[in-house]
Amino acid sequence: MIKKMVAIEREGEAVDSVELSWFDMQKPNLTAVSQKGVNFIVKAKFTHLHEGDILVGEDGYSVSVKRGKDTLYNFYFCDALTFAKTAYEIGNRHQPIEIEPLAIRVLNDISLEDIIKSCQSDASVEVEKIEDYFKPNGKAHHSH
């Protein structure tokens, strides 16, 4: 049976937990399976979930949200122009991004596939695929 989570609390104790990627924390009507194997769907109003949120079901069952890892790509650039052009192209696709000096980190997303391939074929760009925690810059990506 699938539990329906109808509220989100910021404090309290939970009887179960779920590990969610950054991407999953952004989804409305999220369906997931808890650490104890309980299937649930979130039907509470929210813009996105945060680590430490407590999901509360219609029956009072509670699940704590824990941060999980995402599949990411790191790009390391040798020059500022290639870095800026790549960041611009990613922004045009409305994708969240982490920016550091001459480095970019993005989620593995099909909409970025051509950018990833282009960077992989460019000798001046080092590309690395990893599993890690995603922490995008700014507040540009939010619920409308």
pLDDT for residue 25 is more than 70: yes
pLDDT digits (tens, 9 = 90+) for 49-79: 999 999 999 999 999 999 999 999 999 999 9
Highest mean predicted confidence (pLDDT) among 2-11, 20-29, 39-48, 99-108: 99-108
Query: pLDDT digits over 100-138, tens only?
Result: 999 999 999 999 999 999 999 999 999 999 999 999 987
Task: Give the pairing type, strands 103-107 and 70-77.
Answer: antiparallel
The reply to whether 43 and 98 lie within a common domain is no
Residues 62 and 83 in one domain: no
Burial 66-89 (b: 16+ CB within 10 A, else e): ebbebebbbbebeeeebbeebbee
Looking at the fold, whether 56 and 76 belong to one and the same domain comes out as no
Q: Which residues pair with 129 in a beta bridge?
A: 73
Alpha-carbon dihedral 21, 26, 28, 33, rounded to 10 degrees: 10
Q: Pick the more confident residue, 7 or 138.
A: 7
pTM (2 decimals)?
0.77
Sheet containing 103-107, strands listed edge to edge, beginning at the edge strand earlier in sequence: 98-100, 103-107, 70-77, 125-132
Distance CA 23, CA 61 (A): 24
Expressed as residue numbers, the domain containing 8 is 3-67
The CATH number given to whatever domain includes residue 99 is 3.30.70.790
Residue 142 falls inside a structural domain: no
The count of other CB atoms within 10 Å of the CB of residue 143 is 9
Residues 51 and 74: their CA atoms lie apart, in Å, by 23
Give domain status of residue 36, yes or no.
yes
Do 76 and 107 lie in a common domain? yes
Residues 60 and 76 in one domain: no
Establish if 141 belongs to a structural domain.
no
pLDDT-based confidence at residue 143 (cuts at 50, 70, 90): very low
Confidence of residue 140 (pLDDT cuts 50, 70, 90): low
